[in-house]
Structure 1
């Protein structure tokens, strides 16, 4: 499953987007960190490794509701063409 794991101090949330087994604890050992989400900035900062997220979803990982919304709302980064 791909979901959020909370990190940061009390009342200062910051999240990692992680690939983790579904039955593990929220902040348990993850398989891979595939992004970050900081809701405290204006606008909220979302950094995602889309290639790794695509890899894991093709191999059967499910997105949590919140990660699905973040993925849909995050702008698609366009990489410059190779010269």
Structure 2
């Protein structure tokens, strides 16, 4: 099964997340199919906090990919 989820990167106590498409059997930061965006919870005022390629996310959802709970919230925020 394919899942849309976050992969954690960045320094200790300062995370940076990549939004990826991956198989559920792969590790959190392991092998992935495609990177469709990022989420930076500690973005400064002049930086973008969320960037998602919505058209690619919708493509994978139509193919049967499931979203994580956190990503459902991020999709709603990014579409506003």
- Residue 38 of structure 1 corresponds to 40
Structure 2's unaligned 5+ residue stretches are: none
Q: Does 1:50 align with 2:67?
A: no
In 2, Cα distance between equivalents of 1:75 and 1:64: 17
TM-score, normalising length: structure 2? 0.88
Superposition RMSD on alpha carbons, in Å?
A: 1.5
Residue of 13, 16, 19 corresponding to 1:17: 19
TM-score, normalising length: structure 1? 0.85
Structure 1's unaligned 5+ residue stretches are: 77-83
CA deviations 1:2-49 (Å, max 9, x no partner) are 000001111110000000001211001110000000000257700000
- Residue 69 of structure 2 corresponds to 65
What is the aligned residue count? 76
In the TM superposition, structure 1's runs of 4+ consecutive aligned residues that sit over 3 Å from their partners are none
In 2, Cα distance between equivalents of 1:45 and 1:62: 23
SS at match of 2:36: strand
State the shift of 1:57 in Å.
Answer: 0.3
Q: State the structure with more CA Rg.
A: 1
